[in-house]
Structure 1
Amino acid sequence: MRSTFMGLETAKRALFTQQSALHTTGHNIANANTPGYSRQRVNFGTTTPFAPAAMNQPQIPGQMGTGVEANSIQRVRDNFLDIQFRQENNKLGYWDSRSAALSEMENIINEPTSNGLGAVMGEFWQSLQDLSVYPENDGARNVVLERGQSVVDTFHYLNDSLTQIKSNIGNEIKVSLDSVNSLLEQIADINGQIGDVEPHGNVPNDLYDRRDNLVDELSGYIDIKVTTTQSEGDPADEAEGLYNISIVGANGKEEILVSKDNYYQLGTDAGGDKLSTSVADSVQSLYIFTSEGNKISSKKLDIADENGNVIFSRGEIRGLIESYGYKYEDGTGAEVEEGIYPNMLDELDKLAYTFANTFNDIHNMGIDLENASGKDFFDTSNFTTDIGKEHVGASKLIEMTGLTSKEIAASTTVSANGDVNAGDGKNAINLSNIQNWVMDGDQVTLEGFDTPTTYDLDQTLIGTASMNSFYEGVIGGLGVEALQANRLSGNSEVLRESVNQKRQSVSSVSLDEEMTNMIQFQHAYNAAARNITMVDEMLDKIINGMGLVGR
């Protein structure tokens, strides 16, 4: 037989359950503007009816409900949208870092403008053409020297500026690695807190939010894979478990960074066997270190394979490394360096090397105003023939030799009386024509010499191109790369925001919805309280009013 107080217990359960729902609604409203907060809801469930199914159940017409209870308080979250968001955030981190690096490079190169290297070299070639008309004019000769110095200064400026920005990117890599390691430590710490709470049947929703916010931030730096492990003990069905986080390379290789009871760190070998996040002139690989900072040599993350394909995990750090420069060993064991800034420095070195040496060769064939053979116009004594990615080449080391204006070898012939033919500026014409010579290994015939004179176009560092077309190709390539990076950065941001809006529509707090819920739960609470009053009146009648008939 059911209890006399069964109705009171049913109403009491309803009262407490609606009260829990009101408290949860208040928590949602309080955190409506908290970044990363996921709204929570109370999962209602009916309590065990009377009489429960059993061998000795009483013989009554049927089961009678005993009320409601709050089975759990669960955050509203869509894991699929979380995965999508992190994928798009990872792409955005990569393209943003590349876009920023290329944008800074475009600002330094400053082409096409009147202040770029192309314009400065164009003024130099023009000064030589002017000199060819007035080869004896001291003013025209001084202009050539000044314009030549401007070319040298521009090469120095570009080399110094690009090298400085490259160094800044190296510092960014260090900061990003430090941030990654801090995030990994924080995630592991929250994992530990969750592991202490879940075994007792609790569901730490706020800790889940904090952990997911950190994972979202981490996904911008590296490509990650998140799996879960169930906590020990007796966790609730709604418990989300402990995160295992792996870094995923472009080749699909995975290395664990956070496990249920430990975490690792990313770093370079600049500190030997101890954790360091500082980078050398270029990055060849990263290593995984223990939480104590000891290198695990077997867990080496190469940046590129032997074919030059970048295999490091996509994200902001990869974008920074590709900008800063990376090395790999090709199939022959030779070390190769690539990267946005190393490549641009190398192209400038090749141009400056070809320009200075070719100009000196032609200048040395001419005759100056003092009836002497030409001397080197540019100082190339510190040049190295091994330009490739060493960055100790011509754009940094090119200098003027200190020629006087009279020593500019603008002529090709000498008059019969031993004086230079003042009207012969044909070597100045040869010098100005250098800009259009295609360095394809063939010969070019020079003007103005008494006997046919040729020059071997064997400056192969710039390939089969003229200096003008080579530089135009470099600038064109930079423009295409920057345009692509900007476009994909914008696309990635749009896609990320689209996913984020969907995620917010599921997880964020709607004040209108919460107010509606609050009114609903309030009415239910009031009704439960009224039910208690009604049951109390019934019990009062039974206890105090029965058995008084006839008195």
Structure 2
Amino acid sequence: MASVLNIATRALNTNLSTLQVIGNNIANVNTAGYSRQTANLASAGYQQLGSQYYGMGVQIDSVTRAHDVYLTREAQLTASLAAADSTRLARLQQLENLFPVGEDGLGASVNELLNAWTDVASSPTNQAARVVVLGRGEELASRLRETATQIDLLARTTSQQVTDTVTQVNRLSEDIAKINQKIIEAQGSKSSPNDLLDQRDKLVAELSQLMQVSTVAADDGTLSVFAGGSQPLVLGTKASSLAVERNTTDPSQINVVFKQSGYSMTLAPSSLGGELGGLMTFMTQDLASAQNQLGRMALVLSSTVNAQHQLGVDLQGNAGGDFFVAAAPAQGLAAVGNTGTAQIAASVADATQLQASNYEMRFDASGVTLVRLSDGTSQSFGSLPATFDGLQFEAASGSGAVGDVFLIKPYADVARNMQMAVSAADRLAAGSPVIITPASGNTGGASIENLYAVSDSANLTDPVTITFQADGSFTVTGLGPDNPAPDNPGPPASYNYTPGQPMQFNGWSLTLRGTPSAGDSFSVTATPAGGGQQNAGNANGMLALRDLTTYDGVSLSNGYGTVISDLGTRVQGAQFAATYSSSIAASAETARQSVSGVNLDEEAARLLQYQQAYQASAKLLQMAQSMFDTILQTVR
């Protein structure tokens, strides 16, 4: 009878405990990170009475949580990738807002400046037209400065977000180490500390949102966490930390550094993942590219406009000066380990060949190697100065030692320092230093469209005569060196003529329209004293800049399109990546939840099952007690 009472009591307690587990599941159906728990029942053993064996009832063997290591790991990895993509996309969209299109865009401002020379070309002494050019120039410079300022602000806020994210990573790492310690202490009992394990998994999931991590379980129940490839962020009950430090070569940039017991290592942005990886990728790639695109645009504009303006003559008869304040040569940033004394500088050699990239210069035994960092293209030179991608690199002072490395950022400060150099309308150099005079006996229909200087050739103002032949070609006399070779060897040597196509000799460009007659001639000579102010040759030269091929083969007037195109491609790619990775992460989490999550229908069915078992156990206990009372009364 005592055995029946024990069996009934044990069954009652077991079913009650099972109901408690089910109730706990129902209560935590909406608790983030909670894993469904199951009470696993086992026979309480047996006893021998005489020659027979009788069972001793039921007991709870263990309470386990529904957990799949693979699905949990998959959910963490995909969530990390989704967080990286969505964070980068959000920042890219902020960056895209800084480059509007239409009337508010930089492209419109560029074209407004160049087109403003039209009225000056029509009336070179018109002060109002000249003032409009100055206004358009100041507006363009202001927009470039403002855009650069907004990019700098975005860089600062992104850096602060990186710092805040690193602080969260360190806090979570410490919390995981503390949970590991509690799990070790709980391992003394034979039961699994399910709630602690859930807490740890939740912390790891939160950490995965911030950066990509990998985990390794130990026999003592602890979980070690590795980040940045293989750095032990949490090792058992000890947590290491991350820090944000300024780049030793380029203080404008930051690095995420792993620190442990005096050891430190800079983590590559590509190894971070999560929100931290998305932020660092944005800073090192997307933001840097936008800065270089904007800086190149500003440098091309200032260099080409200044060069053309210097070839003209202002209303006071003086040679033109800079239109925009000339950009200072970019100074190379020396690596910490350099042993030489070189001071490196880079300036514009050919504005039409500039590439939107930073550069690295390496000194080696054979000279120097220049690397375009945007795509890794490199070229070696025996010595400095060296010209690469339209830039001239030189040692401003000192000399480099083998192994020295320099970072050159030719576009970093150009846009933010854009300023007008011309402040007075009469200083606009709209006139040309050369004029053209048709011969009085010309009988053909050729007319002069424009004549302006295109380079500061030493022979720019030398007298030149163009004479047309019966076959439509023309001869040129008075040419200096470095001019195009004749199309036809002759005699006489001659050039082919195409109406509307520029003829460029001695540093000037002449365009004629119509068909000349044999013997027609034109003379190009220096503008007489006092005559340069009255013509608009250089204003036409400024207008011709609109079609100048720059920006990877794109005209100057359409150069802003290359900035928008590059940024738009990045945003579009980031949108696709974010959408795709978010979908994959959602699927992975759904798969994990299908195993670990609480299903209310299942729990309701189990609730009824064990409620009935509990009631039956209570009935058995009641019956056993009644029988036991009857026996006692009979014995009395």
TM-score range, shorter chain: 0.7 to 0.9
Quote how far apart the aligned CAs of 1:408 are.
1.2
Structure-to-structure mapping, 1:257-272, within 5 angstroms = 257-269=233-245
Structure-to-structure mapping, 1:191-230, within 5 angstroms = 191-230=180-219
Matched with 1:76 is 66
In structure 2, how many angstroms separate the alpha carbons of the residues matched to 1:348 and 1:157?
11
Contact 1:301/1:312 (CA < 8 Å) preserved in 2?
A: no
Q: Could you list the runs of 5+ residues in structure 2 that have no partner in the other structure?
A: 331-344, 348-357, 359-408, 436-526
AA at the equivalent of 1:418: G
Matched with 2:547 is 436
In structure 2, how many angstroms separate the alpha carbons of the residues matched to 1:103 and 1:393?
23
Quote how far apart the aligned CAs of 1:525 are.
0.8
Structure 2 vs 1, CA of residues 59 and 417 (structure 1 numbering), >3 Å: closer, same or farther?
A: closer
In structure 1, how many angstroms separate the alpha carbons of the residues matched to 2:430 and 2:539?
5
Structure 2 vs 1, CA of residues 541 and 170 (structure 1 numbering), >3 Å: closer, same or farther?
A: same
In structure 1, how many angstroms separate the alpha carbons of the residues matched to 2:416 and 2:329?
9
Matched with 2:315 is 369
Structure 2 vs 1, CA of residues 400 and 271 (structure 1 numbering), >3 Å: closer, same or farther?
A: closer
In structure 2, how many angstroms separate the alpha carbons of the residues matched to 1:103 and 1:382?
32
Quote how far apart the aligned CAs of 1:469 are.
5.0
Matched with 2:144 is 155
Deviations 1:97-116 (A, max 9, x none): 22122111100112x22211
One of 226, 232, 239 as aligned partner of 1:246: 226
Quote how far apart the aligned CAs of 1:91 are.
0.5
Quote how far apart the aligned CAs of 1:511 are.
3.2
Structure 2 vs 1, CA of residues 271 and 187 (structure 1 numbering), >3 Å: closer, same or farther?
A: farther
In structure 2, how many angstroms separate the alpha carbons of the residues matched to 1:371 and 1:259?
78
1:281 maps to 2:252: yes
Quote how far apart the aligned CAs of 1:386 are.
3.0
- Pick which of 468-477 and 176-185 moved more: 468-477
Please report the RMSD computed on the Cα atoms of aligned residues, expressed in angstroms: 2.5
- Pick which of 214-223 and 28-37 moved more: 28-37
SS at match of 1:200: coil
One of 491, 504, 523 as aligned partner of 2:612: 523
Structure 2 vs 1, CA of residues 198 and 381 (structure 1 numbering), >3 Å: closer, same or farther?
A: closer
1:359 maps to 2:305: yes
SS at match of 1:320: helix
In structure 1, how many angstroms separate the alpha carbons of the residues matched to 2:246 and 2:146?
30
Q: Would you tell me which structure has more helix in proportion to its own residues? A: 1
Quote how far apart the aligned CAs of 1:264 are.
0.8
Matched with 2:278 is 319
Quote how far apart the aligned CAs of 1:302 are.
4.0
In structure 2, how many angstroms separate the alpha carbons of the residues matched to 1:26 and 1:398?
69
One of 285, 290, 301 as aligned partner of 1:344: 290
In structure 2, how many angstroms separate the alpha carbons of the residues matched to 1:183 and 1:108?
35
Quote how far apart the aligned CAs of 1:350 are.
2.1
1:38 maps to 2:127: no
SS at match of 1:43: strand
AA at the equivalent of 1:71: D
In structure 2, how many angstroms separate the alpha carbons of the residues matched to 1:140 and 1:105?
36
Quote how far apart the aligned CAs of 1:416 are.
6.1
1:296 maps to 2:256: no
Quote how far apart the aligned CAs of 1:512 are.
3.4
One of 12, 16, 21 as aligned partner of 1:15: 12
Structure-to-structure mapping, 1:466-481, within 5 angstroms = 466-468=555-557, 470-481=559-570
Matched with 2:95 is 105
Identity fraction in percent: 27
In structure 1, how many angstroms separate the alpha carbons of the residues matched to 2:293 and 2:565?
13
Contact 1:383/1:397 (CA < 8 Å) preserved in 2?
A: no
Query: What is the TM-score when the length of structure 1 is the normalising length?
Result: 0.79
Structure 2 vs 1, CA of residues 186 and 285 (structure 1 numbering), >3 Å: closer, same or farther?
A: closer
Quote how far apart the aligned CAs of 1:468 are.
4.2
AA at the equivalent of 1:287: F
Matched with 1:25 is 22
Structure 2 vs 1, CA of residues 542 and 271 (structure 1 numbering), >3 Å: closer, same or farther?
A: farther
- How many residue pairs get aligned? The number is 469
Contact 2:317/2:533 (CA < 8 Å) preserved in 1?
A: no
In structure 2, how many angstroms separate the alpha carbons of the residues matched to 1:480 and 1:271?
28
- Pick which of 314-323 and 120-129 moved more: 314-323
Quote how far apart the aligned CAs of 1:65 are.
2.5
1:94 maps to 2:84: yes
In structure 1, how many angstroms separate the alpha carbons of the residues matched to 2:300 and 2:22?
73
Structure 2 vs 1, CA of residues 311 and 502 (structure 1 numbering), >3 Å: closer, same or farther?
A: closer
In structure 1, how many angstroms separate the alpha carbons of the residues matched to 2:410 and 2:124?
39
Structure 2 vs 1, CA of residues 364 and 318 (structure 1 numbering), >3 Å: closer, same or farther?
A: same
Matched with 2:482 is none
In structure 1, how many angstroms separate the alpha carbons of the residues matched to 2:245 and 2:125?
61
Structure 2 vs 1, CA of residues 349 and 269 (structure 1 numbering), >3 Å: closer, same or farther?
A: closer
In structure 1, how many angstroms separate the alpha carbons of the residues matched to 2:155 and 2:619?
74
Matched with 2:133 is 144
Quote how far apart the aligned CAs of 1:400 are.
0.7
In structure 2, how many angstroms separate the alpha carbons of the residues matched to 1:223 and 1:302?
12
Contact 1:369/1:408 (CA < 8 Å) preserved in 2?
A: yes
SS at match of 1:140: helix
Quote how far apart the aligned CAs of 1:129 are.
2.4
AA at the equivalent of 2:309: H
Structure 2 vs 1, CA of residues 115 and 73 (structure 1 numbering), >3 Å: closer, same or farther?
A: same
One of 527, 530, 552 as aligned partner of 1:418: 530
SS at match of 1:542: helix
- Pick which of 312-321 and 101-110 moved more: 312-321
Contact 1:228/1:244 (CA < 8 Å) preserved in 2?
A: yes
In structure 1, how many angstroms separate the alpha carbons of the residues matched to 2:410 and 2:187?
56
AA at the equivalent of 2:69: N
Query: What is the TM-score when the length of structure 2 is the normalising length?
Result: 0.69
Quote how far apart the aligned CAs of 1:89 are.
0.8
Deviations 1:218-273 (A, max 9, x none): 11222211121122xxxxxxxxx211111152xxxx1211122211111245599x
SS at match of 1:121: helix
One of 401, 408, 414 as aligned partner of 2:428: 408
Deviations 1:88-139 (A, max 9, x none): 11101211222122111100112x2221111110111111223222322222
Quote how far apart the aligned CAs of 1:181 are.
0.4
Structure 2 vs 1, CA of residues 366 and 248 (structure 1 numbering), >3 Å: closer, same or farther?
A: closer
Structure-to-structure mapping, 1:391-406, within 5 angstroms = 392-406=412-426
In structure 2, how many angstroms separate the alpha carbons of the residues matched to 1:516 and 1:172?
48
In structure 1, how many angstroms separate the alpha carbons of the residues matched to 2:153 and 2:51?
89
Quote how far apart the aligned CAs of 1:75 are.
1.7
Structure 2 vs 1, CA of residues 421 and 269 (structure 1 numbering), >3 Å: closer, same or farther?
A: closer
AA at the equivalent of 1:177: V
- Pick which of 397-406 and 377-386 moved more: 377-386
Contact 1:383/1:393 (CA < 8 Å) preserved in 2?
A: no
In structure 1, how many angstroms separate the alpha carbons of the residues matched to 2:266 and 2:422?
50
In structure 2, how many angstroms separate the alpha carbons of the residues matched to 1:381 and 1:313?
37
Matched with 2:340 is none
Matched with 2:111 is 122
Matched with 2:440 is none
Quote how far apart the aligned CAs of 1:34 are.
2.0
In structure 1, how many angstroms separate the alpha carbons of the residues matched to 2:565 and 2:293?
13
One of 476, 499, 509 as aligned partner of 2:588: 499
Quote how far apart the aligned CAs of 1:381 are.
6.0
Matched with 2:51 is 59
Quote how far apart the aligned CAs of 1:531 are.
0.6
AA at the equivalent of 1:168: T
